Structure 1
Amino acid sequence: MKTKAINAAEFFAGIGLVRTALEPLGVRVVWANDIKRAKFDAYYANYPDAEDHFKVDDICDINGQSLPSGIELATSSFPCIDLSHAGNRLGLVGKQSGMFWQFARVIKELPNKPRVVLLENVYGFATSHGGRDLTDALQCLNDLGYSLDVLAIDARHFVPQSRPRMFIIGIIKEELPKNAHVGVPEVSDVRPAWVTKIHEAHHENINMHYLDLPDLPDGPTNLSAVVEHNVPSGAWWDEQRVKAFVDSLSDVQKARFESLRVADALSCRTAYRRTRQGVSMWELRRDAIAGCLRTTGGGSSKQALVELGGGREPRIRWMTPREYANLMGARDYKLVAGTPNQQLFGFGDAVVVDVVRWIGEHYLIPVLRPDNEPGDE
């Protein structure tokens, strides 16, 4: 028996990794939006039907009345630049992260609100303007009729990348499942202490709930499963550039580099640039996974791969778009649209497929299809 498909709207869709995560679970994207044409091109290359439902437009110019009817799930990975600790911290008054209010406006304009909304952003959302921005967002969603839950998940539980993100899940108040709890949840790996404090601070004034969730998996501890081993030899930096890399390291970083260089085993590490006291320096990660992928544009945004040990000379190169795709859980994603930098940008601005799929399997689908409602796919 087939299960009735869940019609979804994908706000700030980017290159479509929310769809990549949820489509195998029975979610059918019937409307998507992003302002950047390059992201649509990548999305379309992987999902040709996007030509019929993907709107390349500023969300400020979108009216909820124009969306198709019957949307049960709305996802929103709205811009993080004004909320991130690496950004300007303007919060929800910022031009980019302030697009949250436009998402809420469109939801309000829909004749029938989605039964569930899923929002994703950086941990900095919780502390922006002393927590006031998050409070305002929760209150706004509450006023739209949603009871709310907050999760915090680092993608390192699924892929070799440290990528901590918070998720807000809203369920229409009248449709809360019977197994939903009210009050303050216990501390767990998906709800660390700072998340339970959010519930504690708001559950008496805002409709909040939580569902019991399984523990997160341990996740990989190295980059072996994501590294490309057949890159062109010209991708590796020349001797002069490698020397410049080493010369830029601090004493602590040089000691780490040297320890790995003389080790019997070959290892891969990621490195990124940091500006310390006005000087650009390279830093090697302590662990063997990648740092958080970011949109390309300078500073620490672009990561390098460093091979050390095993009796070989050190080798360094930029990480490739395919490696970025692998780190985002998008191993089968077609890299046929855009320039390499546009591809890196698209993945740096996306969600990790495995994380969203885990949320889908353990939260969204049980809420939206608790009894596997039969119907057409």
Structure 2
Amino acid sequence: MAGGVIRAAEFFAGIGLVRTALEPLGVQVVWANDIKQAKFNAYRANYPDADKHFKVVDIRKVDAADLPPRIDLATSSFPCIDLSLAGNRLGLDGTQSGMFFEFARILEGMRQRPSVVLLENVHGFATSHGGKDIERAFVKLSELDYSLDVLAIDAKHFVPQSRPRMFIVGISKDKLPKSSHIGVPAPSDVRPPWVTALHKRHSSTCDMHYLDLPPLPEGPKDLNGVVDHDVPADAWWDAGRVDAFVGSLSPVQRSRFEALRDQDIISYRSAYRRTRQGVSMWELRRDAIAGCLRTTGGGSSKQALVELGMRREPRIRWMTPNEYARLMGADSYRLVAGTPNQQLFGFGDAVVVDVVRWIGQHYLIPVLASDKAGEG
């Protein structure tokens, strides 16, 4: 590391929540990119130095020479749409998720590659094209002299949102810390059986390692700490719209709705639209946390907040950008740029701050600190 500072490049930076997660741990983002101007605007509203290092550009137009020297850590939240089970499943052959190879191209061209890389994507990456896509990614990263580890973390361990994501950690083969292990890790909360199967399946063709990690925290069980109580009165839906919501519920959903309404306490549930047998209908989550936030674009992408209890008339409204921010662990994020829909889109397309900070604290920073000690 240069002068004891961890210098990072944030690929597919979005609104900058990787930076939000890692900066308190001593990481300095010295280069970032995204193709969306609206995301840059949100990033700059929170990080005024963005004009110096954030490039609004298609990654296909970025060359390794465009990056500053001495990058210690490169992070990549490349697009998930072609890998998601809710997407088109084109995998790494898709025009968006295929941007992984552009990230790899830039790494390959760097005179001095980062000691550590962190990639984030959906679980569907592991099964895309019968597992061939993740194999292609593993092989490419191994060719770039990285040893690989895989983590699977659901954000519900940190925030009241179910958001399962997988993370690939690559460490330069000559920088593996002494605390790393070679072989197949035992199943754990961060490496469930499907992750250990990846280690076993690919250990013969790629360099694989793992580090011991502490158990994940328990996580909140309801939305009470998320709800925005300062919304305008007209944000709540009128009686006709509430009746239409209730009328779309299935018998099972209606029973759940009425049980919550008749409780002696006020509780909150997230709700989302689903198409069942060609019919659009609303569904309440069975538990008291939010479903996975998504980019706004129709269908089930936007979540509603339902207030029930005390035998009162139910109240329903769309979730606010402030609530999305809290669900992403970005409570202090300044929402001063863009329209509400752009803000919802930015959070739906981002990483959860607490998850990345946990990985930074327990994995990335210790590895980079070990590297620094080795240089000394």
TM normalised by structure 2 equals 0.98
1:188 has 2:188 as partner: yes
Give the aligned residue type for 2:247: D
- State the secondary structure of the residue aligned to 1:369: helix
Give the superposition deviation at 1:372.
7.2
- State the secondary structure of the residue aligned to 2:31: strand
Aligned to 2:57: 57
Aligned to 1:238: 238
Give the superposition deviation at 1:5.
1.5
Aligned to 1:42: 42
Give the superposition deviation at 1:311.
3.2
Show the 5 A alignment for 1:148-167.
Answer: 148-167=148-167
Distance, in Å, in 1 between the alignment partners of 2:205 and 2:62 is: 31
Distance, in Å, in 1 between the alignment partners of 2:263 and 2:103 is: 51
Aligned to 2:70: 70
Give the superposition deviation at 1:174.
0.5
Give the aligned residue type for 1:246: V
Kindly provide the CA deviation profile for residues 226-281 of structure 1, in whole angstroms up to 9, marking residues without a partner as x. Answer: 11111111100000000000001111111110111111111100000001111111
1:329 has 2:326 as partner: no
Aligned to 2:87: 87
Distance, in Å, in 2 between the alignment partners of 1:43 and 1:10 is: 12
- State the secondary structure of the residue aligned to 2:97: coil
Aligned to 1:340: 340
Give the aligned residue type for 1:102: E
Give the superposition deviation at 1:371.
8.2
Aligned to 2:31: 31
1:17 has 2:8 as partner: no
Distance, in Å, in 2 between the alignment partners of 1:8 and 1:102 is: 18
Aligned to 2:209: 209
How many positions carry a matched residue from both structures?
373
**Structure 1: runs of 5+ lacking an equivalent:** none
- State the secondary structure of the residue aligned to 1:370: helix
Distance, in Å, in 2 between the alignment partners of 1:253 and 1:145 is: 52
Identical residues among aligned pairs (%): 73
| Farther-moved stretch of structure 1 (233-242 vs 304-313) | 304-313
Distance, in Å, in 2 between the alignment partners of 1:41 and 1:276 is: 38
**Structure 2: runs of 5+ lacking an equivalent:** none
Aligned to 1:367: 367
- State the secondary structure of the residue aligned to 1:148: strand
TM normalised by structure 1 equals 0.98
Aligned to 2:146: 146
Give the superposition deviation at 1:312.
2.0
C-alpha RMSD over aligned residues = 1.3
| Farther-moved stretch of structure 1 (210-219 vs 255-264) | 255-264
Q: Is the 8 A contact 2:175 2:371 kept in 1?
A: no
Aligned to 1:317: 317
Q: Is the 8 A contact 2:177 2:371 kept in 1?
A: no
Kindly provide the CA deviation profile for residues 129-151 of structure 1, in whole angstroms up to 9, marking residues without a partner as x. Answer: 00000000000000001000000
1:131 has 2:119 as partner: no
Aligned to 1:300: 300
